[in-house]
Structure 1
Amino acid sequence: MSYPTPPLAASAATPTASMPSADPTLPQNDTPAQRAARAAQLAATQTVYTWATDVPTLPGVPLATDVPKNDEPTIAWFVTLIGVGLDIVRNALTVKLGGIDKGELGGELDNPRAEYEAALAECDAIEASAAKIAAEHGVHTGGNIFARMIGDVENAVAAAERDVHVALLKGYKDRLEELMKIDDAEGLGSKTPRSIEAYRALFATLPVPGISWMFQDDAEFARLRVQGPNCMLIAAVGDALPDNFPLSAAQYVSVVGGDTLAAALADGRLFLLDYKPLEVIDPGTYGTRAKYIWQPMALFAVPPGGSSLIPVAIQCGQNPADYPIFTSSPVADKIWGWEMAKFVVQVADGNYHELFAHLARTHLVVEAFAVATHRHLAEIHPIWALLVPHFEGTLFINERAATSLIAAGGPIDHIFAGTIASSQTAAVDARLAFDFYGKMLHADLVARGVGVDSALADYPYRDDALLVWDAIHEWARRYVGLYYGHDADVVADTELAAWAACLAGEAKIRGFGPMTTRAQLAEVCAMVMFTASAQHAAVNFPQKDIMAFAPAVTGAGWQAAPNGQRGHDKAGWLAMMPPMALALEQLNVLELLGSVHYRPLGDYRSNAFPYPEWFQDPRVTAAEGPLAWFRAALTGVEAKIVARNAERMQPYPYLQPSLIPTSINI
């Protein structure tokens, strides 16, 4: 069977990933000969997994120097990604063909219609080839080939065939990424009047996100704080409003009738978003156009007897002398000023989400644990076996992010407000400031004053995340208990000590240190697994449903923030939004990132041919063992979240275990 040559040829070597032992051991329990074998294996692995802190796009962050073959994606992942990519590219090409019909596209292309139609034909060829590859890797009984999981996609391929097929699929992936790029010189949107309908029309062959009809509602604006892409910033106000947020009692009452500012403060019913950390970002440009970034403050309240947030007031910067407070108001002369202020918040939230909550606190943190685990825990070590599946694909996807996503001329540079250097600095600073123990779920909720006993009763991220955290933590506790009979066993584990020292030292994980008890070790493992799975799912997958529609959340403003609430109109609000070409680029990138679900939590497999079940120790895999318990617990969590979503005003599916990948692989 023949396949078209990939546009960008790639090579791949057969993975040689090891499997966990059927009888994992701790180094202190081994014979001298066994210890020597462990040391030899680690010495060899340390030549493959090496550190760098001089990656130009993320200077100072410890990253892997290379992506070892063991960490490359599987064929099933590539096929899934290509299926999503084809949908996105076809949508973009359809939009461009529509632009030709409007007389607005062409740019430097001699015959843009022919070029776009040729690209559509190329998509058909890529799809046919990928389908042939997938068909040769399993017997299908129907359904969409690109949605299939690993079981029937990869169960019969020879290792040599895999190398050829991976090379082809890599080429297809690279070609689709090339076709997703948007050239502003093409002129997309140049003759289209700015409107929300025009932004919706960018979803020519893709489903239009529901957020496009809801994002202007104040209730939706508040909902995004607790079940949107960035649910990790909202915090209780405390005893008094910040000195630089001079909201008056009269302003508060004008929004929240039947309440007083003093009563709301006393009851703990006020919550604040403060984007001061974005001050590190310097506004950049796109061509000759200036981009804008702000550090707003936004106040929300839970009304007396209520459970959900409502928006109260927004200050578009940190200095009240420069930025007056806007309040939610039905007064006609104030409505568009309020919409502009909400847009300012959403631009800030887009930057905080992508650079802080997403890239820094999931991708880059987990990479440190992935490299340290391979360098300091032998493959016969039980903690190596527990954690390694949660790193599958992470080094590969992070390398792509460092070299394209956050590089000069990449999507972050185009879509987000900051100069690329300052955006990179923001991500670096957030990663190096990440407090490992302080960001554990329970501790973080308490620190922000939004725990289950707070006045904020309606907080889907918190409530669902706690269910998943507790299941992962108990899985870790039971697993650790199989191999560590006493706390003294943790202290005596020399490999574990070296691992912890590496993480606290060269890996630059703030707050990390020696582990002395089984409970502490279980908590650490739970944090790593939760961050690599559920926390990443919570910040990654809303990108498709919410952030792919630029008017709802985007990375830059294109007009200055208003200096007063009155006297604005819809046209002024629309002028703050991105050009159509960048809105389409944002759609392409975030639709891709938010669509690839691969290997759900609890599905532990090797990523090397023939992809067997990962755990080999009968104590782990027994019917009454911890793995069976964990899978049953996830089934229960799934049922509970599905039931909750049936009762919620808007469902929050992102922490359903079936939709949480085991690792950061996109």
Structure 2
Amino acid sequence: MLGHTFSILACSTSLLVFNHVVAVAVPRQVSATLADSIVVRAQNIVNPLSPQQPGAAPNLDITGSYYISQNSPNPLIRSTGVLAKALTFLYGPPVAGGPAYPTGVLGLLKVVADLASIQLDLTPESAQTVLDDGNAVLGVGKYDELQTLEDYTKLYDGEWTTTLPKGPDSGVLTNYTDDLLFSMERLSNSPYQVRRLNPSSDSLNFQIADAVAENITGSTLQQLFSAGRLFYADYRDQANLTPNIGKYSAACDAYFYINSNSGQFLPLAIRTNVGANLIYTPADSANDWLLAKMMYNVNDFWFAQWNHLASTHEVVQITYEAAIRTISEEHPVQALLNRLMFEVFAIQPLAQTVLFDPGAAVDLVFSYSGSSAATYTTRYYQSVGSGRFRSNYFATNLQSRGLINSAYGPALKHFPFYEDASAIHDAISTFMTAFIGSYYSSDAVVAADGELQAWANEANGPAKAIDFPSVITSRAALVNILTHMAHLASTSHHTINTNELLSISSTLPFHPPALYKPLPTAKGVTDVVDYLPPLPQILAQFTIGALFARPDFVGTNRSLLHMFDGQTFLSKTNAQTRAANGAFMSAMQGFSFQVSSRTFDADGLSQGMPFVWQALDPNVMPYSITT
């Protein structure tokens, strides 16, 4: 059937078993047991909707060129192939929360193929992680039992060199007490919570004494608000989550502001909303204010990880499922999606097994339980807005939060996430415009493509995707859809996850995923270290980050530089698409050089920050949503 039948390729999914790190006798009898348990879970991921056994991967590749629906040389065979997919690739119950997960004969085979592929990626990661865990245990003496904040920075002194070859981002271990580092993380590695308060439609959620605000900012809170210089972040929805025994967290909300003199984006106040519900500001003691920022980071780390699962993985997963059921494998759009969605169906079982299950990673290192993480993710996907498709288009999302193109306040002086992601997003959009233009001569041709319209109907119907276009009637609309899919799988995802976990967002001592002492009932903390994790939990925390990193992709054809540079894909497209890929690769090579060359300027800043952020280097981050 010219490639539309399902020839089944046998593929074994045997798992590599590693020796556990041997516990080393040290004063506190530290071992890597908790870390080992996470590695073992990663090595034994299964699809919970079917028995795990040696399976078969579907070969849906076509033998000839790609054609849009109207131009197919064999329309009857083509429609039969689409029908066969619809009958065998089905929607099953969610895995790890969120939308429907694949089932049916073809659905399960696709899952088996993705799980087998991600196991190949995890095999070297597991080995490297076990090696780094062991080295960390052997070097435990130099941490001096983690008695000081400085001791925590020694965790990176010659450690984790395999999984984090370049070490944490420059400045993170030396400048973490700097308020500018804390605030600018909201505009770089964790940009999805903060928003500008609109004086015409918003209100102030908590008050700060005028004298305090004026002392810090030169203005009262109300004056900052009225001028459109006040920003807000809200984690109060974490107050009622199920805590893990012996771990603690606030449920912070916070104000940030644009300084009228320097133009810098800075923190103003953090409210805990738990226990004594204290409000901290930079006017407090150094220890109190540092602890407040750490409490905020605990909440932010939680939000960033589970929101990213909802807003990237789960959105592209269900949209891709709808496409599989309605678009022929002969279609250039489906071919492109097949490339971008590499390993997408392995992520939910990975999250369930490694993160959410009882006793898994979330229970080991986070403030709240794994079941709370799954519930939190699902709520953000279904109800809070993370699962919305068009509303979260790159610029649309940032503008809706007043971070770009604001009509009610001054522009941000520096916005590193927007700066870097824009360069990549623009290049992706340029490629997509050429790609779609090469197959569709007009908007009318797009509107007449029955498979595209079936995709929109499926997404809005049985798939229950959220905010996906109801029809696709123009080349621009199709370009926007595909650009957003690529953005979610790359720049949006890798800003929060992958290598970035180890390089900044989970670095200690400033970014603990939980506190290990109840929150203070009054100000006057004398030792912040009392609240930080002990070494076994640290090893587990680093192990999670290491398993989700992809240092071996650097400089390879798995990097974003090669997003469209697949031999199978390009060989069956047209000359215009191949030329567009060449232009994309050239643009990304140039941008990679720019990012990789960054260092501190004469003021000790990079992109206006006291750390050097390089998460979106196209020659480092993956092109697909692989972790």
Q: What is the TM-score with the length of structure 2 in the denominator?
A: 0.80
Code of the aligned partner of 1:88: T
Q: Kindly provide the CA deviation profile for residues 28-68 of structure 1, in whole angstroms up to 9, marking residues without a partner as x.
A: 3446xx2221222223334553322243x42x521223352
Q: Is the 8 A contact 1:62 1:506 kept in 2?
A: no
**Mapped pair 1:264 → 2:306:** no
Query: C-alpha distance in 2, partners of 1:263/1:6?
Result: 61
**Mapped pair 1:536 → 2:489:** no
Q: Compared with structure 1, are the counterparts of its residues 431 and 20 closer, same or farther at alpha carbon in structure 2 (3 Å cutoff)?
A: farther
Q: Is the 8 A contact 1:615 1:621 kept in 2?
A: no
- SS of the equivalent of 1:212 reads coil
Q: Compared with structure 1, are the counterparts of its residues 478 and 583 closer, same or farther at alpha carbon in structure 2 (3 Å cutoff)?
A: same
**Mapped pair 1:603 → 2:554:** no
Q: Is the 8 A contact 2:276 2:522 kept in 1?
A: no
**Mapped pair 1:326 → 2:277:** no
**Mapped pair 1:307 → 2:349:** no
Identity %: 24
Paired residue for 2:549?
594
Query: C-alpha distance in 1, partners of 2:15/2:405?
Result: 56
**Mapped pair 1:349 → 2:300:** yes
Q: Which of the numbers 473, 483, 506 marks the counterpart of 1:526? A: 483
Q: Which of the numbers 634, 637, 646 marks the counterpart of 2:588? A: 634
Q: Compared with structure 1, are the counterparts of its residues 193 and 536 closer, same or farther at alpha carbon in structure 2 (3 Å cutoff)?
A: closer
Code of the aligned partner of 1:603: H
Q: Compared with structure 1, are the counterparts of its residues 52 and 13 closer, same or farther at alpha carbon in structure 2 (3 Å cutoff)?
A: closer
**Mapped pair 1:582 → 2:540:** no
Q: Kindly provide the CA deviation profile for residues 585-614 of structure 1, in whole angstroms up to 9, marking residues without a partner as x.
A: 00111123133463122425798xxx6564
Query: C-alpha distance in 2, partners of 1:516/1:597?
Result: 41
Query: C-alpha distance in 2, partners of 1:365/1:443?
Result: 16
**Mapped pair 1:283 → 2:242:** yes
**Mapped pair 1:292 → 2:292:** no
Task: Using the TM superposition, give the Cα deviation of residue 393 of structure 1 relative to its aligned residue in structure 2, in angstroms.
Answer: 1.5
Q: Compared with structure 1, are the counterparts of its residues 615 and 539 closer, same or farther at alpha carbon in structure 2 (3 Å cutoff)?
A: farther
Q: Is the 8 A contact 2:55 2:112 kept in 1?
A: no
- SS of the equivalent of 1:272 reads strand
Task: Using the TM superposition, give the Cα deviation of residue 322 of structure 1 relative to its aligned residue in structure 2, in angstroms.
Answer: 4.8
Q: Which of the numbers 66, 69, 81 marks the counterpart of 1:27? A: 69
Q: Kindly provide the CA deviation profile for residues 368-400 of structure 1, in whole angstroms up to 9, marking residues without a partner as x.
A: 123222222111112112221111122123322
Q: Compared with structure 1, are the counterparts of its residues 205 and 296 closer, same or farther at alpha carbon in structure 2 (3 Å cutoff)?
A: closer
Task: Using the TM superposition, give the Cα deviation of residue 266 of structure 1 relative to its aligned residue in structure 2, in angstroms.
Answer: 3.9
- SS of the equivalent of 1:516 reads coil
Greater shift, 587-596 or 421-430, is seen at 587-596
**Matches of residues 89-104 of structure 1 in structure 2 within 5 Å?**
89-97=130-138
Q: Which of the numbers 195, 219, 231 marks the counterpart of 1:235? A: 195
Q: Is the 8 A contact 1:604 1:614 kept in 2?
A: no
Q: Kindly provide the CA deviation profile for residues 250-309 of structure 1, in whole angstroms up to 9, marking residues without a partner as x.
A: 1111212x4454543343222221113435x513223xx2x3233211112221232321
Q: Is the 8 A contact 1:337 1:562 kept in 2?
A: no
Q: Is the 8 A contact 1:340 1:561 kept in 2?
A: no
Paired residue for 2:359?
409
Query: C-alpha distance in 2, partners of 1:36/1:64?
Result: 26
Paired residue for 2:38?
none
Q: Compared with structure 1, are the counterparts of its residues 249 and 412 closer, same or farther at alpha carbon in structure 2 (3 Å cutoff)?
A: same
Q: Which of the numbers 92, 96, 100 marks the counterpart of 1:62? A: 100
Q: Is the 8 A contact 1:634 1:657 kept in 2?
A: yes
Q: Is the 8 A contact 2:310 2:377 kept in 1?
A: yes
Query: C-alpha distance in 2, partners of 1:557/1:305?
Result: 36
Code of the aligned partner of 1:340: L
Q: Which of the numbers 421, 432, 435 marks the counterpart of 1:465? A: 421
Query: C-alpha distance in 2, partners of 1:427/1:67?
Result: 26
Q: Compared with structure 1, are the counterparts of its residues 307 and 79 closer, same or farther at alpha carbon in structure 2 (3 Å cutoff)?
A: farther
Q: Is the 8 A contact 1:14 1:69 kept in 2?
A: no
**Mapped pair 1:561 → 2:519:** yes
Q: Compared with structure 1, are the counterparts of its residues 325 and 236 closer, same or farther at alpha carbon in structure 2 (3 Å cutoff)?
A: same
Paired residue for 1:205?
159
Query: C-alpha distance in 2, partners of 1:420/1:406?
Result: 4
**Mapped pair 1:214 → 2:175:** yes
Query: C-alpha distance in 2, partners of 1:634/1:74?
Result: 30
Q: Is the 8 A contact 2:242 2:368 kept in 1?
A: yes
- SS of the equivalent of 1:299 reads strand
Q: Is the 8 A contact 1:269 1:455 kept in 2?
A: no
Query: C-alpha distance in 2, partners of 1:67/1:583?
Result: 37
Query: C-alpha distance in 2, partners of 1:464/1:193?
Result: 36
Paired residue for 2:443?
487
Structure 1 unpaired stretches of 5+: 103-188
- SS of the equivalent of 1:488 reads helix
**Mapped pair 1:393 → 2:343:** yes
Task: Using the TM superposition, give the Cα deviation of residue 90 of structure 1 relative to its aligned residue in structure 2, in angstroms.
Answer: 1.8
Q: Compared with structure 1, are the counterparts of its residues 507 and 277 closer, same or farther at alpha carbon in structure 2 (3 Å cutoff)?
A: farther
Q: Is the 8 A contact 1:487 1:516 kept in 2?
A: yes
Query: C-alpha distance in 2, partners of 1:416/1:360?
Result: 18
Q: Is the 8 A contact 1:21 1:617 kept in 2?
A: no
Paired residue for 2:505?
547
Task: Using the TM superposition, give the Cα deviation of residue 575 of structure 1 relative to its aligned residue in structure 2, in angstroms.
Answer: 2.4
Q: Kindly provide the CA deviation profile for residues 198-255 of structure 1, in whole angstroms up to 9, marking residues without a partner as x.
A: 4345446325635233322222211211122x11212112228844311222111121
Paired residue for 1:44?
84
Query: C-alpha distance in 2, partners of 1:298/1:637?
Result: 34
**Mapped pair 1:426 → 2:376:** yes
Query: C-alpha distance in 1, partners of 2:449/2:598?
Result: 43
What's the C-alpha RMSD, in Å, of the aligned pairs? 3.1
**Matches of residues 378-389 of structure 1 in structure 2 within 5 Å?**
378-389=328-339
Code of the aligned partner of 1:239: P
Query: C-alpha distance in 1, partners of 2:149/2:130?
Result: 22
Code of the aligned partner of 1:51: Y
- SS of the equivalent of 2:562 reads coil
Q: How many residues are aligned here?
A: 550
Task: Using the TM superposition, give the Cα deviation of residue 498 of structure 1 relative to its aligned residue in structure 2, in angstroms.
Answer: 1.8
Q: Which of the numbers 472, 477, 489 marks the counterpart of 2:433? A: 477
**Mapped pair 1:442 → 2:395:** yes
Q: Kindly provide the CA deviation profile for residues 497-521 of structure 1, in whole angstroms up to 9, marking residues without a partner as x.
A: 2211222233332111222221111
Paired residue for 1:375?
325
Q: Compared with structure 1, are the counterparts of its residues 250 and 634 closer, same or farther at alpha carbon in structure 2 (3 Å cutoff)?
A: same
Query: C-alpha distance in 2, partners of 1:479/1:394?
Result: 23
Code of the aligned partner of 1:40: T
Structure 2 unpaired stretches of 5+: 1-13, 18-42, 45-51, 162-166
- SS of the equivalent of 1:245 reads coil
Q: Is the 8 A contact 1:503 1:509 kept in 2?
A: yes
Q: Compared with structure 1, are the counterparts of its residues 659 and 97 closer, same or farther at alpha carbon in structure 2 (3 Å cutoff)?
A: closer
Paired residue for 2:23?
none
- SS of the equivalent of 2:390 reads coil
Q: Is the 8 A contact 2:336 2:569 kept in 1?
A: no
Task: Using the TM superposition, give the Cα deviation of residue 11 of structure 1 relative to its aligned residue in structure 2, in angstroms.
Answer: 7.0
